[in-house]
Amino acid sequence: MAARDGAAALDQAAYTALVAELNDYAYRYYVLDQPSVPDAEYDRLYRQLIRYEAAAPERVASNSPSQRVGDRPLDGFIQVDHRTPMLSLDNAFSDDDLGEFVGRLEERLKRTEPLRFACEPKLDGVAVSILYRRGELVRAATRGDGSRGEEITQNVKTIKNIPLRLAADSAPELLEVRGEIYMSRSGFEAFNRRARDSGDKPFVNPRNAAAGSLRQLDSRITASRPLLFCCYSVGEIEAAGRSWMNHSELLASLAEWGLPINPLSETVEGVAACNDYYQRLAAQRDGLGYDIDGIVYKVDSFELQRRLGSVARAPRWAIARKFPAQEELTELLDVEYQVGRTGAVTPVARLAPVFVGGVTVSNATLHNRDEMVRLDLHHGDTVIVRRAGDVIPQVVGVVAERRREAAEPFAFPQRCPVCQSPVERDAEQAVSRCSGGLFCAAQVKQAIKHFVSRKAMDIDGLGDKLVDQLVDSEVIFSVADLYDLTAERLVELERMGAKSADNLVAAIAASRTTTLAKFVYALGVREVGEATAAALARAFGDLPALLSASLDELLEVDDVGPVVAARVREFFANPDNVAIIEALQGAGVSWPALAAADPAAQPLHGQTWVVTGTLAEMGRSEAKERLQALGAKVAGSVSAKGHCLVAGPGAGSKLSKAEALGIEVIDEATFVQRLAGWEGAR
């Protein structure tokens, strides 16, 4: 590695090796889903590559990762002919439809023994064709009408799980591979969140997002979108001396050449096994992380495929069995507004119940005021509801043509629907907030629900309904009032028995002893989640220090940036909040002191540790917690700043990296011994 320290020192062989190394890391990350180096390491090597290429542009390799993005937008897309038409698929909607399909095949082939089928999840994206000559990606095109599509080579090259050059010496002379370009649900949600936050138009669904991202003339835009590829068939192949008997074998070869295939594909025999595969995938569908709209069944044998042939634009040997839709139309009955813990006012659509994505939906989020304006909702509108995976249902569009003539538009409220305080638009976000603060019953309720939740004060038996009841009947006005509740007062509430009242009072009493981290989290400071609360507690040790911390002091805490620091300052500068904290402490809420500033109690202060491999005596999370209690920062990857790596059996690249960087490596036994020493001294 020493020869790679400076770009100038990089010779041609080292450059070629660097390209191969980066491509291998990307392959492990994007195709195998098994990252082998931390992102920071990849980035460092990538920067080195760019430095070299800038100094020697004539030597840039065509498969260098830098070649994924073009530096100039296109003037327009060129039409290209597909040498072999890209077929579409017939659909089946039930077990009966599938049975009939298989019956037709058996009749045509005049056979009774069960047929073998390749079963594949049907991805819901954009179908493309990618051409490799002598292993090099030379052209990519959309399906278009099946015979003609648009050339999108530059955009397709930006997709990180598509190899620019096929792996292995056995790559074919010519390969035209087909598959789907799609966006994962998390990529789609993240993209839309950013779009909404900055007032841009979100995409309706991941398929539209993938299509819109590919239709860019500037490949730098495509490169910024989280697109992925999965291949499922071959249009043309020329591979001297090699032939394939069936589809599943050919897919295995595609994977050997570095192309991504769907790991859930299987071959099965007979119609019952096909239906069984459908049921298994239907059960997994919500958790897949990407949208699938059905299962594709393909006769596995190429010989039988050839004998069956095609009709019109679909092969006879394949069919798509559809899942229940993830988008449906329904009637918009009303729009209501929910007020959250921080006052955020979220519009929610009340809908005529509709079965979508496997459940009956009667409410869907409208996100925020901008989204409502964009959708231009009117009373009684027909709306498109989407529910995919475990993402909450959303209204993604309106069928404007179906709008009744005199339909009234919905207007976002100027005043909080709960406390009537003015609703204000957040300056930096697209969020509208009720300005009522603790005067607003909705915000008080949410604050209490958060306060009592498991990761906060963990008060068992105080469910959402009971909190609503306590606030609505004006028994409590803030979290501090919880500690004055008596069993006598509680039994006066509707549906509250003596035993439950006693249990609740006991649970509230037990919550008085907590930790500083849980207490800080329970306060519900905006942007302060569990991990940040723990970091703040560790850094300041006790509440007075945190209450009086300056912005600069807050910024020194791990993972605290300017936004979080400002929120913390704002929260503790508010006298109402301070009064509640004092009331809670007055009611006996307390925690064991953490000696943040005491060097004896924090012997690992300022050190960064990494834990990897399997620890037999304690889990990695326990190891992490104990290290943090001693003041160490525990990182996910090894860097030059690291102090020590605890490596159990099975440690991989982190171990070799620590050794290469000369960082101390200890095994679990040594670790346990040292822990005992430090913890004993406290």
Binding residues for ligand 9MJ, per CB under 6 A? 87, 89, 120, 122-123, 180, 232-233, 296, 318
- Which of these, 437, 464, 438, lies nearest to 450 by C-alpha position? 464
* Closer residue to ligand 9MJ (CB): 318 or 351: 318
Helix runs in 376-497, H state only: 441-452, 464-472, 487-491
* Closer residue to ligand 9MJ (CB): 28 or 307: 307
624 is catalytic: no
* Closer residue to ligand 9MJ (CB): 10 or 296: 296
Shortest distance in whole angstroms from residue 213 CB to ligand 9MJ: 17
* Closer residue to ligand 9MJ (CB): 122 or 165: 122
Shortest distance in whole angstroms from residue 151 CB to ligand 9MJ: 20
* Closer residue to ligand 9MJ (CB): 123 or 601: 123
Residues paired with 364 in a beta bridge: 349
* Closer residue to ligand 9MJ (CB): 155 or 233: 233
* Closer residue to ligand 9MJ (CB): 85 or 461: 85
The two three-digit tokens of residue 333, written as one number: 């009955």
Shortest distance in whole angstroms from residue 639 CB to ligand 9MJ: 40
**Strands across the sheet containing 136-142:** 136-142, 126-133, 174-183, 227-238
| Residue 635: exposure state from Cβ atoms within 10 A (0-12, 13-18, ≥19) | middle
- Which of these, 477, 511, 490, 505, lies nearest to 579 by C-alpha position? 477
Amino acid, single-letter form, for residue 211: A
Calpha distance 295→293 (Å, rounded): 7
| Residue 106: exposure state from Cβ atoms within 10 A (0-12, 13-18, ≥19) | middle
Residues paired with 118 in a beta bridge: 267, 298
Amino acid, single-letter form, for residue 309: G
Q: Per the residue annotation, which of 110, 122, 633, 641 is the catalytic one?
A: 122
* Closer residue to ligand 9MJ (CB): 314 or 438: 314
Calpha distance 143→88 (Å, rounded): 10
- Which of these, 465, 438, 437, lies nearest to 449 by C-alpha position? 465
Reported as type and span, the H/E element at residue 107 is: helix 95-109
Give the distance, in angstroms, between the CA of residue 465 and the centroid of all CA atoms in the same chain: 31
* Closer residue to ligand 9MJ (CB): 296 or 470: 296
Reported as type and span, the H/E element at residue 188 is: helix 185-197
Calpha distance 1→660 (Å, rounded): 9
Calpha distance 228→251 (Å, rounded): 17
Shortest distance in whole angstroms from residue 174 CB to ligand 9MJ: 19
- Which of these, 109, 102, 122, 123, lies nearest to 273 by C-alpha position? 102
Shortest distance in whole angstroms from residue 294 CB to ligand 9MJ: 8
Shortest distance in whole angstroms from residue 186 CB to ligand 9MJ: 19
Residues paired with 119 in a beta bridge: 266, 297
Shortest distance in whole angstroms from residue 119 CB to ligand 9MJ: 9
* Closer residue to ligand 9MJ (CB): 251 or 647: 251
544 near 360, Cβ under 8 Å? no
Helix runs in 310-428, H state only: 369-375
Calpha distance 198→409 (Å, rounded): 24
Residues paired with 127 in a beta bridge: 180
Amino acid, single-letter form, for residue 95: D
- Total count of residues recorded for the chain: 682
Amino acid, single-letter form, for residue 461: G
Shortest distance in whole angstroms from residue 232 CB to ligand 9MJ: 4
The two three-digit tokens of residue 496, written as one number: 């509250």
- Which of these, 110, 120, 121, 122, lies nearest to 304 by C-alpha position? 110
Shortest distance in whole angstroms from residue 210 CB to ligand 9MJ: 12
Instruction: Report which DSSP code applies to 203.
Output: P
Largest CA distance in the chain: 88
238-257 in b/e burial notation, b at 16+ Cβ within 10 A? eeeeeeeebbbebbebbbeb
Helix runs in 11-38, H state only: 12-26
Calpha distance 357→398 (Å, rounded): 18
* Closer residue to ligand 9MJ (CB): 249 or 625: 249
* Closer residue to ligand 9MJ (CB): 180 or 668: 180
Shortest distance in whole angstroms from residue 170 CB to ligand 9MJ: 24
447 near 341, Cβ under 8 Å? yes
Shortest distance in whole angstroms from residue 298 CB to ligand 9MJ: 7
Shortest distance in whole angstroms from residue 78 CB to ligand 9MJ: 24
Q: Provide the annotated active-site residues.
A: 122
